[in-house]
């Protein structure tokens, strides 16, 4: 009798478990992609990627007039770097790049960007260790003012700016980007 009671209790437990609805899965929120926002000045600055060869690095910057008014540029962007602990890095910003490499310098020009138009510039550096007693530095966070005296904008980086221990960062002048501005797609028709 005891065996029959145990079997009956076990069968009842199994049937009850089979009839109990499965717990409702809680949806895991999908990660959101944060797109760069338009600043109060009506611009956005983004990184265009880094080209690296034999210690020489070049990173493109793109400035987009995402506002409603023309935006004037004349000169070089002004970058500032911080390490992973958000401590500022001592960096000598060099307009052009004569002290780093040749073929990178062109004179600044006055540019007026209409809404939707873009300009590009580049940062250039060498990942070079010239003194074993000085630690190499990596810029993890970057802010860029479009030109001296204007508010700086945070620029998201795909990877660090690995300056070695040279502490020099070359900066090209802004130049118009002659690629056609992207056109917004039309909303779907009902």
Residue 4 clears pLDDT 50, i.e. is over it: no
Which pLDDT score, from 0 to 100, does residue 163 have? Answer: 84
Q: What is the overall mean pLDDT for the chain?
A: 78
Which pLDDT score, from 0 to 100, does residue 100 have? Answer: 79
Which pLDDT score, from 0 to 100, does residue 121 have? Answer: 94
- Tell me the percentage of the chain whose pLDDT exceeds 90: 43
**Do β-strands 56-65 and 118-126 pair in parallel, antiparallel, or remain unpaired?**
antiparallel
pLDDT in tens, 75-96: 999 999 999 999 999 888 988 8
Q: Concatenated DSSP letters for 19-60?
A: HSPPPPPPPPPPPPPPPPPPPTTSEEEEEEEEEEETTEEEEE
Residue 78's Cα: distance from chain center in Å?
16
Residue 90's Cα: distance from chain center in Å?
21
Highest mean pLDDT (candidates 9-18, 99-108, 140-149, 175-184): 140-149
pLDDT in tens, 158-176: 888 888 888 889 999 999 9
Which pLDDT score, from 0 to 100, does residue 36 have? Answer: 63
**What domains does the chain contain, in order, with CATH numbers?**
43-176 (2.60.40)
Token match 């006055």: residue?
Answer: 110
Q: Can you tell me whether residue 126 is helix, strand or coil?
A: strand
Which pLDDT score, from 0 to 100, does residue 186 have? Answer: 44
Which pLDDT score, from 0 to 100, does residue 15 have? Answer: 39
**What's the mean pLDDT in 112-123?**
95
The pTM assigned to this predicted structure is 0.72
Least confident of 15-19, 50-54, 92-96: 15-19
Name the more confident of 69 and 189: 69
Please list, in sequence order, all residues whose beta carbon lies within 8 angstroms of the beta carbon of residue 162, skipping any fewer than 6 positions away: 57, 125, 127, 136, 138, 139
- Contact predicate 59/161, CB 8 Å: yes
Closest C-alpha to 95, from 129, 124, 52: 124
| Confidence at 180, pLDDT banded by 50, 70, 90 | low
């Amino acid at each position: 009798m005891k065996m029959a009671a145990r079997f009956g209790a076990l069968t009842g437990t199994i049937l009850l478990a089979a009839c109990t609805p499965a717990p409702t899965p809680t949806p895991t929120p999908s990660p959101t992609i944060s797109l760069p926002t338009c600043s109060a000045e009506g611009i956005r600055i983004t990184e265009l990627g880094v080209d690296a060869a034999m210690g020489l690095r070049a990173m493109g910057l793109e400035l987009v007039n995402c506002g409603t008014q023309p935006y004037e540029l004349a000169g070089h962007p002004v970058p500032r770097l911080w390490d992973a602990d958000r401590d500022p890095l001592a960096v000598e910003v060099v307009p052009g790049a004569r002290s780093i490499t040749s073929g990178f310098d062109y004179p600044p020009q006055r540019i007026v960007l209409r809404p939707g138009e873009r300009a590009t510039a580049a940062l250039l550096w060498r990942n070079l260790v010239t003194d074993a007693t000085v630690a190499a530095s990596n810029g993890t966070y970057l802010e860029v003012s479009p030109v001296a005296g204007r508010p700086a904008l945070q620029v998201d980086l795909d990877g660090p700016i690995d300056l070695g221990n040279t502490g020099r960062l070359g900066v090209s002048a802004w130049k118009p980007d002659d690629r056609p501005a992207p056109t917004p797609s039309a909303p779907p028709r009902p």
